[in-house]
Amino acid sequence: MTRPNLNPRGESVLRTLIETYLEAGEPVGSRLLAKRYPESLSSATIRNVLSDLEDEAYVAQPHTSAGRIPTELAYRYYVDRWLNAQPPGPEIAERLSAALEGVDLDPEAWARHASRTLAEVMGGVCLALPLPLTHSRLMRLEFVPVAPGRVVAIWVGRLGEVEHRVMENPWNLSQVQLTELGNYATAHFAGLTLVEMRTQLLEALAFGAHEGETLRQRLQEMAARWPEDDSASDPNVLVSGLGRLGSLPEFEDVSRFRALVAAFEEHGRLARLLNAFSERASEDVQLLLGTENPYLEAWPLATAVRTVALGSAGFVTFALVGPMRMDYSRVMGGLRWWSRQVSLRQEFL
C-alpha cells in the first residue's frame, strides 16, 4: 500500500528526527527537536506533529517517558525522498581501494579479502557469495568462427559476466548456421544455466523428430563441449564483521544478539538472500529495510546488496548488513563507488 506524502511540516520534523537519531542513536525528545529544527517552533507544536507522525506509523515511542525513534516506514520514506549518496572522500576511498587487491586472482580468496575490508571500512557485517560461471544464467549466446574447424562460443550472463571458449567445429557450420544457433539458444534458453540448458536439450531430443530438432541437436553437441558443473554442494557464504553488531545499542541484549548470530550461521538462508537479489544488484545497489529482507526480517536491519562480475572467473554478490540506524549516504555512495572501481579494474585485466 502506497502512503500519501506527508505535509511539509510533518516531512520537515520527520527528517530532523531521523537525522538526529542517526547521529545520537537515542530516542529524540521534543525539546531536542525544537533546538535542531531549522525554524522556530515550540515544543508543544512539535509534540503535536510527533503525535500525528505516530498515528501514521512513522515514529514510535519505546516507552511512555521516552522520546521518539523512526520506524521502518520512516526510514524508507527518508531513503526514497532525501537520500543523497555521496562518493567517498579521499581517506575512505583509499581504504576501500584495498578491497580491489587480488581481484584478478582466485574469486573466493578475493571475496574473503574484499568482504573483510568492506566490513572494516563501511561498518556492520559483510556477506559475500562467490559464484563460478557454471551458475551463470544465460542472457545471450553467440558462436563466431575463428579458423577452419574452430569456433568461439560467447556466453553472456544476466549479471554481465562473459565467457569466451574456443571450441572445435567438426561440422564445419557456416557463419549463417552459427548465428542461427546462437539466436535459437538465446530465444529458447534465456535465464537457464548451461547445465539446465543441456538437460532441456536432451529432454527435447528424446521426443524424436519435430520442428527445430536439428538446431537442438547441434546445440546439444556444442554444449557438451563446455565444462560440466562440478559444484557438488551449496556455495560457501563468507561472513565478516559479525562481532561489531554486538557493540551497538540495538543488540545490547545478549539473548537477542545470540539469536542474530545464529541466523548468520545459517548459510543456506544467507545464500538464498544473496541469490534472490543478485540479478537486480548487478545493475545498482539494492537497499532492503527491515521486513523488506525476507531472510532476516525478524531484526531491525538494513541490507545493501551489490553484485560484481569478474569476467571468466564468475561473479560475487556482496551484502552490507547493519542496523537501520545506518549512515545511508556513506554506505550507498561507498558501495557504488567501490563496485564501479571493480568494473574498471576488470576492463584493464
Q: How many domains does the chain have?
A: 3
Residues spanned by the domain of 55:
8-82
- Note whether residue 2 is domain-resident: no
Q: Is residue 228 part of a domain?
A: no
Q: Which residues of 297-311 are buried (b: 16+ CB within 10 A; e: fewer)?
A: eebbbbbbbbbbbbb
pLDDT digits (tens, 9 = 90+) for 143-196: 888 777 788 888 888 776 666 677 787 778 888 888 888 898 888 888 888 778
**Domain boundary, last residue among 190, 223, 256:** 223
Rounded-to-integer distance, Cα 164 and Cα 166, Å: 7
With cut-offs at 50, 70 and 90, classify the pLDDT of residue 234. low
Q: Measure the CA–CA gap between 189 and 78, rounded to whole angstroms.
A: 41
Query: How many whole angstroms separate alpha carbon 157 and alpha carbon 191?
Result: 8
Asked if residue 183 and residue 100 are part of one domain, the reply reads no
Taking only the tens place, the pLDDT of each residue in 114-128 is 999 999 999 889 999
User: Which CATH number characterizes residue 105's domain?
Assistant: 3.30.450.40
H helical segments located in the chain = 8-24, 30-36, 43-55, 72-82, 90-97, 107-122, 175-189, 194-205, 213-223, 254-264, 267-281, 328-347
CB of 242 closer than 8 Å to CB of 251: no
Task: Name the DSSP letter for residue 277.
Answer: H
Reported confidence tier of residue 306, pLDDT bands at 50, 70, 90: very high
Claim to verify: residue 155 and residue 280 sit in the same structural domain: no
Phi then psi for 203, rounded to 5 degrees?
-65, -40
Plot region of 238 (φ>0 → left; ψ -120 to 50 → alpha; else → beta): beta
Do the domain assignments include residue 247? yes
pTM here is 0.75
What does the alpha-carbon distance between residue 267 and residue 265 come to, in Å, rounded to a whole number?
A: 6
Q: How many CB atoms lie within 10 A of CB 196?
A: 14
- In the predicted model, is pLDDT for residue 82 greater than 70? yes
Domain boundary among 172, 189, 223: 223
Structural element, H or E, at residue 165: strand 162-168
Q: In terms of domains, do 27 and 48 share one?
A: yes
List C-alpha distances in Å: 73 to 77, 304, 330.
Answer: 6, 17, 20
Give yes or no for a contact between 195 and 170, defined as CB atoms under 8 angstroms apart: no
Residues 144 and 262 in one domain: no
Instruction: Specify whether 294 is located in the same domain as 332.
Output: yes
- pLDDT above 70 for 220: yes
Are residues 244 and 336 located together in one domain of the fold?
Answer: yes
Q: How do residues 95-120 score in pLDDT, each as one tens digit?
A: 999 888 888 778 888 998 999 999 99
Same domain flag for 202 and 55 = no
Together in a domain, 170 and 77: no
Q: Are residues 23 and 35 in the same domain?
A: yes
For the chain, percent of residues with pLDDT exceeding 70: 87
What value does the CA radius of gyration of the chain take, rounded to a whole number of Å?
Answer: 25
Residue 102 placed within a domain: yes
Q: Report DSSP letters for 9-70, one per residue.
A: HHHHHHHHHHHHHHHH-SPBPHHHHHHHSSS---HHHHHHHHHHHHHTTSEE-SSTTS-BEE
Going by C-alpha positions, the residue among 328, 268, 308, 344 that lies closest to residue 115 is: 308
Residues 329 and 249 in one domain: yes
Q: Which three cell numbers stand for residue 19?
A: 537525522
**Statement to judge: residues 141 and 240 lie in one domain:** no
pLDDT at 133: 57
191/211 same-domain check? yes
On whether residue 1 sits in a domain, the answer given is: no
Cα separation, 49 vs 27, in Å, equals 16
Query: Around Cβ 348, how many Cβ atoms within 10 Å?
Result: 6
Residue 3, in any domain of the structure: no
**CATH number, domain with residue 43:** 1.10.10.10
Domain end point (choices 223, 258, 284): 223
Average pLDDT, the chain: 84
Cα angle value 88/240/343 (rounded, 5°): 45
Instruction: Assign residue 178 the CATH number of its domain.
Output: 3.30.390.60
